[in-house]
Amino acid sequence: MPKLYEYMGIEIFFYSKDHEPIHIHAKYSENIIRVSFFIKENKIYKTTYTEVFGSFPKSKLNTLKKFISVYQNDIVKAWIDFFIMGGKPKIEKITKKI
């Protein structure tokens, strides 16, 4: 389970045997949400948020959405680097509020 980011108490990761569409999982406390990125012509045209376990608190979901809006291209690149190129992502702990 490669972890990509820690931000404001939210852990952002993907599972090592994941599948398309490109997506990550975000965990806050025991709540988990999947964020999927849909890409066409090398651009993200749609991002969806699907609760997997529990219920993400609204304030943390808004925090996550702001984070995703800034880091979505880096997340997609990390996914491609890991699943296509066989690289290993580094964990980035972000302490500055977006």
pTM of the model: 0.88
Query: Under a CB-based contact definition with an 8 Å cutoff, are residues 35 and 5 in contact?
Result: no
The predicted structure's pLDDT at residue 1: 67
The predicted structure's pLDDT at residue 6: 95
pLDDT digit string (tens) for the chain, length 98 residues: 688 999 999 999 988 677 778 899 999 999 999 999 999 998 999 999 999 999 999 999 999 999 999 999 999 999 888 888 778 888 888 988 88
Give the distance from CA 92 to its chain's centroid.
12
The predicted structure's pLDDT at residue 2: 83
